[in-house]
Chain A
Amino acid sequence: MLVDSDVHVGYETLLDLCDYLDAPTRELVVHSGTNGLGMPSYPWYHPTGWLRGDTYDRETTDVGAQLPGQDLDRVREKLLDAYDVTYAILTPDEAAAFAILPNAELAARLCRGYNNWLLERYLEEEPRTRGLLVVTPQHPEAAAEEIRRLGPRDEFVGVFLPGGARVPYGSPVHEPLWRACAELGLPVAVHTHFEGVGVAGPVTAAGYPDHYVEYHTLCGAGMCGHFVSILCHGVFERYPETRVIMMEGGLVPFLGLVWRLDTNWRACRSEIPYCRRPPSEYVWEHVRFTSQPLEEPGDERLLLPAIEGLRPWETLCYASDYPHWDFDEPAQTLRRLPAEWRDAVAHANALSFYRLPAPVAA
């Protein structure tokens, strides 16, 4: 049994969403710019390609296209069937940009269209898929409305938030979003995406990196900010059933943050009295991490000592990041972990986190 917690899907162009948008938004999508609305995107280009070379048709993709879409048949062939995936948690590609779009009301309408598109094109078509709702953290009330609109459906198992953001996600400005998630029992997935783009702050406080390789090494920094913000604002005290999964931010950096935050909490807890316990205790109970990209130390023997403090047997969920260039193949990933962790990482932790039904044996 295998649950893949990070499978990116997307439309080819925004025009593909037209049938799922309200009429005024459709007009904007068609007539904006010189030939339709475009989304803000990365100022850094991957020098050898964003995607696994065997997951899209390079010849038919527009020159300069950043994140060409995926269709369900290809996802089935290259991932679901190829690796016998029990459940794939579908994460957005370009649609994650709606969450960092300056025009928050337009972004909210695009989110509605995208979520409808995802439901019809993937989730209702393929029972092995489950979706994360794309919402607008820059417009928390609209995000809450969207969570309440589609969150009750079984096809959606959580809410997606990108690492790039205007304000860290623990901040009280996001309270409507957390409240809606708590009402529906939906977890939040924070996934590195669009740091330094749109309304998001810089990738790090050092300023903008020059190269994609710098960006991709640092992109988890935004997630570190959200991680600490969520812990320090007492989200898990206010909403004891809330869960958060940190996607594609690596593992080693989070362990250092947990240790450092526990130390700082002892001296500074009067500043955050609603964080009643050492922050690490909330992590073990409420937070999970996806495996990809599993760190690759030059000496492989260093991997397990570096991550075991994060309790991977309880907290780690396998993810491939299909179809991106740094895809982690499941068998190879699991082989790098001790045998006694593998069932938990391959499926048990994710089944529990997303509250997925265990499949019935054929």
Chain B
Amino acid sequence: MTASRPSEARIPLAEAPAAGAVRVVEVGPRRVAVFCVDGQFHALADRCPHRGAPLCSLGQVVTGIEVRNGALATGPPDALVRCPWHKWDFEIATGRCAVDPRLRVRRYTVEVDDDELVVSLSTPR
């Protein structure tokens, strides 16, 4: 008989990551990173789809630099995670790679349940 692996991880809301921070949890066989962007929690796989680096646990949460109306501006604050190896950026909210539309980080479900965050391996709605 084999022990079943947990299908979810719970994080007390008091220990949930603040904007700009990351909290990595094990959910079954997967390492899942939880972020907070603009008050919303998001969960991404801790694996860069480019070359397999530990994207979230060793990467950096950063704010993008963009051009708006012809002027330099910063993007949504702390909305990107930057890979530690090749410095490619990924949108935390969508998992999309900012420099290669073919790549996307796997997203997982994170929900608030009373005073806890619940992270599961299901695909978010």
Contact = CB atoms under 8 A, between A and B. Distances in A.
Interface of A: 48-49, 52-54, 325-327, 329, 332
A212 to B, nearest CB: 11
B82 A48 contact: yes
Given A48-B82, A327-B85, 17 more contacts: A48-B87, A49-B87, A52-B84, A52-B85, A53-B58, A53-B59, A53-B60, A53-B83, A53-B84, A53-B85, A54-B53, A54-B54, A54-B84, A326-B86, A327-B86, A332-B51, A332-B52
Nearest to A325: B87
A49 B86 CA distance: 9
Contacts of B54: 54
Contacts of B87: 48-49, 53, 325
A70 to B, nearest CB: 15
**B interface, how many residues as a size bin?**
10 to 19
Contacts of A52: 84-85
Interface of B: 51-54, 58-60, 82-87
A329 B86 contact: no
Contacts of A326: 86
A155 B59 CA distance: 35
A326 B51 CA distance: 11
Contacts of A332: 51-52
A329 B59 contact: no
B98 to A, nearest CB: 12
23 contacts: A48-B82, A48-B87, A49-B87, A52-B85, A53-B58, A53-B59, A53-B60, A53-B82, A53-B83, A53-B85, A53-B87, A54-B53, A54-B54, A54-B85, A325-B85, A325-B86, A325-B87, A326-B86, A327-B85, A327-B86, A329-B51, A329-B52, A329-B85
Nearest to A53: B84
Residue from B59, B82, B85 having most chain A Cβ neighbours under 10 A: B85
